[in-house]
Amino acid sequence: MARNWLASLTNGIVAGAAGTLARELFSNLDVAVRARPMSDTHERAVQRIVDLAHVNLGPADRAAHRRAGFGPVLGIVNGVLAVTLFAALTGRRQPPLPVAAGMIGIGGMLVADGSMAALGVTDPRRWGREGWFEDALPYVAYSLVAAAALKRLDRGS
């Protein structure tokens, strides 16, 4: 029993990392192709967390660099966490690939967008069609890669 749970957890971490890589590649290619600005929501989330925790990131220039570093870390942790939770909850009884991908994608968006909304960094109700499109497409890549990797890893466990 413990071995199966540990295998599911480990597979979730690896599949989450693969999915997160796909999401980040897709997002950054979109920025490059459409020449749009990078989002600063992760950096603003870090600042909000720092404010709530009453932590000092140092002088302004160093604080900006720390936010710039911790911002992507926050996004990576969110991406890996969502797939890891999915893997831990479903174990080896995963739904078919399209269902798993849908659940992972929705779960990943809920973790990321929900935490940003809870911190007051963004309000998804005000995004409009283009905002939702920009947010959803990278999660399609994320969920398909993560679900496929998880299925492949589970076969090898």
| Percentage, residues of the chain above pLDDT 90 | 86
> What pTM was computed for the model?
0.91
Q: pLDDT by residue (tens digit) across 40-89?
A: 999 999 999 999 999 999 999 999 999 999 999 999 999 999 999 999 99
Give the single-character DSSP code of 124. G
Residue 147: CA count within 13 A, CB half-sphere: 22
Q: Per-residue pLDDT tens for 89-133? A: 998 788 999 999 999 999 999 999 999 999 999 999 999 998 898
Whole domain around residue 43: which residue ranges? 2-156
Q: How many domains does the chain have?
A: 1
Indicate if the pLDDT at residue 35 is higher than 90: yes
Cα–Cα distance list, 150 to 54, 84, 98, 104, 111 (Å): 38, 10, 13, 11, 19
* Contact indicator for 54, 29 with CB cutoff of 8 Å: no
| Residue linked to tokens 């080896």 | 92
97-118 and 128-156 helices, crossing angle to 10°: 130
CA distance 157 to 155: 6
